[in-house]
């Protein structure tokens, strides 16, 4: 199997920063890359805060916090990933953007390096076809927030080699995460089940069956969910929810996956949830207030 010591992460958003966090904590040397320097600074600050929080809670040793931060390097130039044995793309959920990143990486990395996508819904086979190494390409989908969530979905494309899969399996074990293997179908396992539920909750609001509070309280207390579906949609990002529903709708050609018009309207308005300060809730005050 390929020996993975140096890991690159492309995209320093919430997911990319979390991925860098867990790899550095597990002893890997990490290069966190993003074209936006402000985004990199924000990610590094968040990683520091989250590691410190883990240390205070006793989840990690105090010296592990400093060691992990020392393993993380940052870069705005994708060429700086040239020595990486594995590069995980964690950019926006846009197939064209992801393919462009992988095409660039193909010309930068050694021929033995593994390419992976953290996509939550897009075809791994399709992304792999944009590279020079489909056999060394795999889906590694972390859950959000990465440092806290134990599950990692692993998705093999049609050309993914057994060696790449076995190497990935050993990496997930080293991260102390649990692996769920999914076939390469739209939205994989978790989002294939989760997103239609969220979309249906939005339809329930759209059709006036229940209020934001009624729907979320109903699922929290009636189904014992830790977070209501609309609250969860805001946490994930309504643009991400819409993108995944569109992948399901277009990929499976079934009307049950049609994105709710209200979800489309919120995204058009720029009300994307927590990251923009407003979605199904308004986060301007100390306590979130329903916007509908």
Neighbours of 54 (CB within 10 A): 19
CATH class of the structural domain 6-182: alpha beta
pLDDT at 1: 59
| pLDDT (tens digit per residue) in 55-76 | 999 999 889 999 999 999 999 9
| pLDDT (tens digit per residue) in 160-219 | 999 999 999 999 999 999 999 999 999 999 999 999 999 999 999 999 999 999 999 999
| Chain center to CA of 192 | 15
CATH topology of domain 192-290: 1.10.1040
pLDDT at 62: 85
Q: Quick one: pLDDT band at residue 3, thresholds 50, 70, 90?
A: confident
What lies within 8 Å, CB to CB, of 125 at 6+ separation is 134, 157, 158, 159, 184
Alpha-carbon span 117 to 94, nearest angstrom: 12
Question: Hey, which residues are catalytic here?
Answer: 120, 141, 153, 191
**Domain parsing of the chain, residue ranges:** 6-182, 192-290
Query: Please, what is the average pLDDT of the chain?
Result: 96
Q: What is the pTM of this model?
A: 0.89
Alpha-carbon span 187 to 120, nearest angstrom: 6
pLDDT at 60: 92
């Amino acid at each position: 199997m390929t020996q993975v010591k140096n890991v690159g992460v492309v995209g320093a958003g919430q997911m990319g920063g979390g991925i860098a966090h867990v790899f550095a904590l597990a002893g890997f040397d990490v290069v966190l890359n993003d074209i936006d320097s402000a985004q990199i600074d924000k990610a590094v600050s968040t990683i520091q805060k989250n590691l410190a929080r883990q240390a205070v809670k006793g989840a990690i040793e105090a010296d592990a916090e400093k060691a992990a931060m020392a393993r993380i390097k940052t870069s705005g130039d994708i060429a700086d990933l040239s020595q990486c044995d594995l590069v995980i793309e964690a950019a926006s959920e846009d197939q064209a953007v992801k393919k462009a990143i992988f095409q660039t990486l193909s010309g930068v990395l050694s021929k033995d390096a593994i390419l992976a996508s953290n996509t939550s819904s897009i075809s791994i086979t399709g992304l792999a076809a944009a590279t020079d190494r489909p056999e060394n390409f795999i889906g590694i989908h972390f859950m959000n927030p990465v440092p806290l969530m134990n599950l990692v979905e692993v998705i093999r494309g049609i050309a993914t080699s057994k060696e790449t899969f076995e190497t990935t399996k050993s990496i997930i074990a080293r991260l102390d995460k649990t692996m769920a293997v999914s076939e390469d179908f739209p939205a994989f396992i978790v989002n294939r089940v989760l997103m239609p539920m969220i979309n249906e909750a939005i339809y329930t609001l759209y059709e006036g069956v229940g209020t934001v509070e009624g729907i979320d309280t109903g699922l929290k207390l009636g189904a014992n969910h830790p977070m209501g579906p609309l609250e969860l949609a805001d946490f994930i990002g309504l643009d991400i929810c819409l993108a995944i529903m569109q992948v399901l709708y277009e990929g499976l050609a079934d009307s049950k996956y049609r994105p709710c018009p209200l979800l489309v309207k919120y995204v058009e308005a720029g009300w994307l949830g927590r990251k923009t300060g407003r979605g199904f809730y308004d986060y301007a005050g100390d306590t979130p207030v329903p916007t509908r």
